[in-house]
């Protein structure tokens, strides 16, 4: 496993690899959460764009839309670590 800081370059790289959402592994309240990138095939980002900047939670896990995370990273509005498989 590889861990990378949640920053603009890492998020851009994930987008180029086809990932479109980030899901926390731990609790959504963690100040420095660990995210796992995922490819959601049926994801429709146009519906999500009406709620820019909003974070979603599901069963205690935080979900970030990758495009929104990239925009927020430009303002240093994100913290966390991304866990990648080798």
Flag whether 45 is in a domain. no
Flag whether 35 is in a domain. yes
Flag whether 6 is in a domain. yes
At residue 9, what are phi and psi to the nearest 5 degrees?
-65, -45
* Residue 53 confidence (pLDDT): 46
Task: Give 29-39 pLDDT, tens digit per residue.
Answer: 677 889 999 99
Q: Are 12 and 74 in contact (CB under 8 A)?
A: no
Flag whether 47 is in a domain. no
Task: Give 11-21 pLDDT, tens digit per residue.
Answer: 999 999 999 99
In the chain the first and final C-alpha atoms are separated, in Å, by 6
- pLDDT band of residue 44 (cuts 50, 70, 90) is low
Q: How many domains does the chain contain in total?
A: 1
Beta-strand relationship, 81-84 and 2-5: antiparallel
The residue range of the domain holding 66 is 2-40+54-84
Flag whether 12 is in a domain. yes
Flag whether 34 is in a domain. yes
SS3 29: coil
């Amino acid at each position: 496993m590889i861990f990378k800081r949640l920053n603009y370059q890492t998020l851009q790289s994930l987008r180029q690899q086809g990932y479109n959402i980030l899901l926390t592994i731990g609790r959504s309240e963690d100040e420095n959460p660990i995210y796992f990138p995922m490819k959601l095939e049926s994801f429709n980002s146009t519906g999500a764009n009406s709620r820019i900047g909003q974070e979603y939670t599901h069963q205690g896990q935080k979900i970030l839309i990758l495009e929104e995370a990239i925009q927020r990273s430009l303002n240093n509005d994100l913290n966390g670590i991304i866990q990648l498989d080798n």
